[in-house]
Amino acid sequence: MPPRLRLRPRALLIQRSPSQHSLRHGYASLATATTPAPPIEQTIKSVPPVLRYPPTQPPSHKPPEVRKSQLHRQYQSVLKASPLILIFQHNNIKAVEWMGIRRELTAALEKVDAEREKLGQELFADGIKLQVIQTGIFASALRVVEFFKPGESALDHAQYPTDPTTPTSAKVPNAQNTPDDETFAHGLSRKAHEAASNKKLKLELEPLLSGPLAIVAFPSVSPQHLKTVLSMLSPSPDFPAPRRKVNPGYHEPEIQAGLQKLMLLGARVEGKVFDQEGTRWVGGIEGGIDGLRAQLVHALQSVGGSLANALEGASKSLYFTVEGRRMDMEEKEKGDMKEE
């Protein structure tokens, strides 16, 4: 009968060999493992810093893919980019009416721009749009814009290449890819969220931000455009609506029905809040910023003139006094001469 255990000569060989090895070197810790030396390139140059998120998408506090985050970001950019924003309330305006109002508004603004183009002034008609907003998100975005003032950007913590031979000279922020990182200071960051959710701070515009709202944002404070928009959307004696003969499209029943439901509530001009009258006052500034500059120059010139007169007056009077004294003394001298 053959033996049950088969002899495996190779297995025996492997089992035996380590024991022989350990016998040869006493301790494993003293064994020298031969690792290959790093290539010479690695020892001379440092590893380039790595950006751990797409440069245009730093990690945000709320999930960035949802609609409200994107609207929040969009409203922040609108609020930061436009110094003049008109706020309207819209009461159940139909889609057809919106369409008509927007069409007439762009037509009127293009007319203004055509006039300005002749004078070589800046054109803004493309940037002025009537936009329906989500009120709550707009209010939150306004809080971030007003109350969150980031002192430093994420790039201030950037890694600088320590060696001129590093492969990149680009500044790469040394930040992790989580919203917990303190270095983020963009509008959707956690820091911005915390600054804006401070209940003690109150917005001046807070009472207006409820109900259905629409805004008209201007890329610059241009009273000429403001005048046109006011006369189209909320006509008043100061800003009369265009006549039927001039602009028959404006007097279509659909557009008029829509305009009845659109109310001007107020405006935000360079961070300050104006009511209806204040808005009309801004619209009534003649000639815009250039007109104001001209007024200022005129005022300063007249002040300068009077100042020069005043200064001249003093020197003149001094001259007269001295001259009078001289005459006086000369007469005296003459008198002395006669006496002699």
Partner 1 sequence: MITRFLTNVNLRFNPFSPRSKSARLFLSLIPPGARANGLLIQSKMLPRASKEPATLEIKFKDGKQMHLDLDKMRITEVTEELDRHSRTLARKEELTGN
**Does residue 271 touch partner 1 according to CB under 8 A?**
no
Q: Single out the segment in contact with partner 1 by CB under 8 A; choices: 101-109, 114-122, 149-157, 257-265.
A: 257-265
48, 136, 167, 211: residue in contact with partner 1 (rule CB under 8 A):
211
182, 275, 286, 323: residue in contact with partner 1 (rule CB under 8 A):
275
Whole-number Å distance between alpha carbons of 283 and 277:
10
74, 134, 166, 276: residue in contact with partner 1 (rule CB under 8 A):
276
- Lookup result for tokens 């600088």: 160
Q: Which residue, 179 or 266, has its beta carbon nearer to partner 1?
A: 266
Q: Single out the segment in contact with partner 1 by CB under 8 A; choices: 39-47, 106-114, 260-268, 289-297.
A: 260-268
Q: Single out the segment in contact with partner 1 by CB under 8 A; choices: 20-28, 130-138, 164-172, 202-210.
A: 202-210
Shortest gap between Cβ of 67 and partner 1 (angstroms)?
Answer: 22
> What is the H or E stretch that residue 264 is in?
strand 262-269
- Lookup result for tokens 């037509």: 107
Backbone angles phi, psi at 142, to 5 degrees: -65, -40
What's 159's DSSP letter? E
**CA nearest to 174, candidates 165, 164, 162:** 162
Backbone angles phi, psi at 17, to 5 degrees: -60, -45
46, 70, 91, 197: residue in contact with partner 1 (rule CB under 8 A):
91
Q: Which residue, 207 or 305, has its beta carbon nearer to partner 1?
A: 207
**Does residue 266 touch partner 1 according to CB under 8 A?**
yes
Residue pair 158/171 in contact (Cβ under 8 Å)? The answer is yes
**Does residue 301 touch partner 1 according to CB under 8 A?**
no
206, 238, 331, 333: residue in contact with partner 1 (rule CB under 8 A):
206
Q: Which residue, 26 or 253, has its beta carbon nearer to partner 1?
A: 253
Residues near 130 by Cβ (< 8 Å), separated by ≥ 6?
88, 98, 101, 102, 105, 214, 215, 216, 233
Vertex 187 angle, CA 134 and 221, to 5°: 70
Q: Which residue, 89 or 159, has its beta carbon nearer to partner 1?
A: 89
- Tokens at residue 23, please? 């016998």
Shortest gap between Cβ of 161 and partner 1 (angstroms)?
Answer: 55
Shortest gap between Cβ of 207 and partner 1 (angstroms)?
Answer: 4
**Does residue 71 touch partner 1 according to CB under 8 A?**
no
**Does residue 89 touch partner 1 according to CB under 8 A?**
yes
Whole-number Å distance between alpha carbons of 98 and 262:
10
- Lookup result for tokens 């003149």: 316
Whole-number Å distance between alpha carbons of 276 and 242:
20
Residue 262, beta-bridge partner list: 90
Q: Total residues contacting partner 1 (rule CB under 8 A)?
A: 22
**Does residue 277 touch partner 1 according to CB under 8 A?**
yes
- The secondary structure of 1-36 as a DSSP string is ---SSPP-HHHHHHHHHHHHHHHHSS-STT----PP
**Does residue 207 touch partner 1 according to CB under 8 A?**
yes
16, 62, 68, 94: residue in contact with partner 1 (rule CB under 8 A):
94
Whole-number Å distance between alpha carbons of 53 and 64:
13
Q: Single out the segment in contact with partner 1 by CB under 8 A; choices: 4-12, 73-81, 170-178, 209-217.
A: 209-217
Shortest gap between Cβ of 268 and partner 1 (angstroms)?
Answer: 13
**Does residue 212 touch partner 1 according to CB under 8 A?**
yes
Where along the sequence are the contacts to partner 1 (CB under 8 A)?
A: 89, 91-94, 206-208, 210-212, 257, 260-261, 263-266, 275-278
